Amino acid sequence: MLGLKTYLRHLSRNKMYTAVTVLGFALSLTFVLLLGVYIQNELSVDNFHENRDRIYRLENETVDFSPPIATDLKNSYAEIEDFTRVCNVSGRISQTDGQKVKFDYLAVDPGFFKMFSFPLIKGEADDVLQTEDGIVLSRSTALRLFGSTDVIGQSVFINTQHKFTVTGVMENFTENTHFIEQDALVNLKALKTIWGFENIMEEYGWCSISIYFMAQTNANLPAKAPQILKNFKKDFWLYKEGWASTVEFTPLKELYFSNKAGNATKSNSKTMIIILSAIVLIILLLAIGNYINLTIAQATFRGKEVAVKKLLGGSKKKLIRQLVTESFALCFVAVLLALLLAKLLEPALNSLLETHLDLNQALTISNVLMALGMLLLIGFISGIVPALKISSFKPIEVVKGELRTKAKSVYAKAFITFQYTVAISLLACSWVILKQTDYLRSKDLGFNKDNIVHLEYLGGTTQKKAIADELLKIPGVKGASLTWQSPLSGGSNQTFDYEGKSVSFQEFAVDSAFYDVFNIEVMPTDVAYAPNGVVLNEAALKELGLTDKPVSFKMEERDIPILGVVKDFNFKQLRSNIGPLMMHQQSPERFVDNIFLKIDGKGIVSTIDQIKSTYAGIVGDVEFDVRFVDETIDQWYKKEERTGKIISYFTFLAVVISSMGILAMATFYMQQRKKEIGVRKVNGATIGKVMVLLNKDFVKWVALAFVIAVPLSWYAMNRWLESFAYQTSMDWWIFLFAGMLTLLVALLTVSWQSWRAASANPIDALKQE
């Protein structure tokens, strides 16, 4: 108890040490706690499925297969117990006379609920998806349509004309699954009616679904991949023509971190989780390092206490136990403060990471026990190093006053260099990421994206001209284009044989107004107009080996006239290079899914309101969204922007924690050199010269950190940029600026203490010595 009182007295006398240690530890543990819960949540995605260890997704270079492949493999391999195909669809759902609500749904097989453990509120897993006209609604959709979940047997309509009977109600998909939340599920066979795709279940040429297999208990389904690949190369056109060359069975637990986008799936970057884990570790190391450094530095001012205890017979073991106990006590206080701060900062982190962390739900027995274990480990590590150092002090050195001159620890210098290295590296990385994101958003895509409004086309085939004409009557609307596919969707893939080789194109079907709305110049050829004529981009000419004045090309034994050529423009995210593009002409019978309106940019709010009211008057009581093209394109790079922000915020945190530690270290460093400063001032040294002398060591540490940090951060960012087809430059000034900013922060932090030490009366310092 006496030792604790002495420690509390020591803390009250050294307020800076106390504040830096407790606040630094608490701030660090706050983010360690929040990020730890987030990382745990991300790593536990899909763990709630009872059959999680037996479920696999069939993959090649992508995840797209044709429907009959699932039944073929089920019939050929005894290792497969069940399967479900998954196709995501969007449409409108309504009651008989209700509003037509936009909704997203999955078309799946009857085995979906037997394989996955998504809970049903109403209905039985074996029965709800057995019929082609049955539908399972989510809880939120049932409540939205009927105000109740007791809706078995009720009728709903998809896209107005397709009647379905509610066979079940499921809980809303939770956050911890790789599936995007859905409003409903139907049997895959329902697409025969909804799409008019009668032979969908037998069509090998349509490869646009994902297939999940559940293996028999103790069966090794992935071991069958080589045999399946061999068969596919003989029998499946996708492999025979060279569009796919691999077969993999990817475990369910790995899908959330897969870079292959499946039907209605979401993912997270494993790299991001690794980065956040590294940040957690670095923040923890900074906090522990600060504590160790400060405690050892403070030990020089607790020398008399240590000497007296040793002279009175105190053993080294007892001293170590006391110092480790002090560390545990301080850690406990920091943890309590961290819990309070974590709860306050929880909404901000949820917004930054676009997640739904709930610390209350994280307070499970296992997590509490793990947290206690971490607390004990951190307390022990933080306490044992300074304890061994302090307990080794010799009483005679304290009495002679020699202890302070020996307290210049190499560990302190190494740790401060490490802190600066972390700060410079994180600063450089965050600037490169934000610079790349800004580059992607501001790069000229080859078409105009400003002041263009996008609507989903909801009319019939015969209404196209009437809808366009009606929208053009609105003041402020300068152009209207109706298209199938667009630069926002990336087009639809078309693969065909050309002169003995297989070529892959993306396709749009556009009207003549498209080129004006997007400001794309068409260079006409000398070919006369033809209804089946197309416009190609330059990449398409190169792929086909055609000249600058092409006439036509053969596609599946048909001559396709080339009416014009456009310069290459980006119709996919800038991670990909520009590929071949073929733009067909819109005709009265062609399908349309987009409306693009060019507006003049004046009175935008009023124009948008008129567009909404006019379009609603045309399509009736149907829910729709109005979006700007440039905002949609900006969303493509939201992930990169979020990464940059995360690293920026934690860079700031690392700099704050480092500065707190360096400020306290500088204080004790100056106190240790009081006598030297006094002697130099008595001998005529100016305040400026003394400050330069005192700051010189910190500048050397920053310089060393800069030399270490530059190659590390350059290598990391160079690897990251490799995932983009279009890259910003990593200019030398980014790294120099990161180093200079870190040096400025260090000098500002240290100079205050060095100025106080340099301007103090030298007589007072010499008297104390």
Same domain, 328 and 374: yes
Q: How many residues does the chain have?
A: 769
- Domain membership of residue 263 (yes or no) is no
Number of folded domains that form the chain: 4
Q: Is residue 751 part of a domain?
A: yes
> For residue 69, is pLDDT > 90?
yes
- Asked, for residue 260, whether it belongs to a domain, the answer is no
Q: Which of 623, 648, 666 is the last residue of a domain?
A: 623
Q: What is the mean pLDDT of residues 586-604?
A: 89
Q: 153: domain range?
A: 61-246
570 and 691: one domain? no
Give the residue-averaged pLDDT of 696-709.
87
Residue 109: band (very low, low, confident or very high) from pLDDT cuts 50, 70, 90: very high
**735 shares its domain with 673:** yes
Mean pLDDT of 623-651: 83
The pLDDT assigned to 768 comes to 54
Mean pLDDT check: name the lowest of 414-418, 509-513, 714-718: 414-418
- 336's CB contacts (< 8 A; 6+ apart) are none
User: Is 252 within 8 Å of 55 (Cβ atoms)?
Assistant: yes
Residue 243: is its pLDDT beyond 50? yes
Instruction: Identify whether residues 594 and 665 lie together within a single domain.
Output: no
* 386 in the same domain as 272: yes
Q: Please indicate, yes or no, whether residues 330 and 214 belong to a single structural domain of this protein.
A: no
* Domain termination site, one of 568, 596, 623: 623
Residue 31, Cβ neighbours under 10 Å: how many? 25
Per-residue model confidence (pLDDT) at position 345 = 83
Stretch 49-61: mean pLDDT? 94
Tell whether 486 and 548 lie within a shared domain: yes
| 37: alpha, beta or left? (left if phi > 0; alpha if psi -120 to 50) | alpha
Shared domain check, 590 and 556? yes
| Token output for 456 | 């989903």
Same structural domain, 152 and 119 = yes
Choosing from 594, 623, 652, the residue where a domain stops is: 623
Whether 601 maps to a domain, the answer reads: yes
* Position 255 in a domain: no
Q: With cut-offs at 50, 70 and 90, classify the pLDDT of residue 252.
A: very high
Domain assignment of residue 252, yes or no: no
Instruction: Answer yes or no: do 195 and 235 share one domain.
Output: yes
**CA-based nearest residue to 397, from 318, 310, 326, 316:** 310
User: What's residue 138's pLDDT?
Assistant: 96
Taking alpha carbons only, the member of 644, 19, 549, 656 closest to residue 286 is 656
> Rounded to the nearest 5 degrees, what angle is found at the Cα of 646, between the Cα atoms of 642 and 647?
120
| Domain membership flag for residue 53 | no
262 inside domain = no
Q: In 3-state terms, the chain is what percent helix, strand and coil (to 5)?
A: 55, 15, 30
Tens digits of per-residue pLDDT, 727-758?
A: 888 888 999 998 898 888 888 877 776 776 66
Answer whether 256's CB lies under 8 Å from 268's CB.
yes
Average the pLDDT over 551-567 and give the result: 89
Which band of pLDDT confidence, cut at 50, 70 and 90, is reported for residue 376? Answer: confident
Looking at residue 336, its pLDDT comes to 86
Judgement on whether residues 378 and 493 belong to the same structural domain of the protein: no
The overall average pLDDT reported for the chain is 84
- For 293-336, the pLDDT digits (tens) are 776 666 655 556 666 666 666 666 777 777 777 777 778 888 88
Point out the least confidently predicted range of 118-122, 218-222, 305-309.
305-309
**pLDDT-derived band at 420, boundaries 50, 70, 90:** confident
Provide the pLDDT for residue 405: 45
Do 181 and 310 lie in one domain? The reply is no
Write down the pLDDT at residue 407.
46
> In percent, how much of the chain has pLDDT > 90?
36
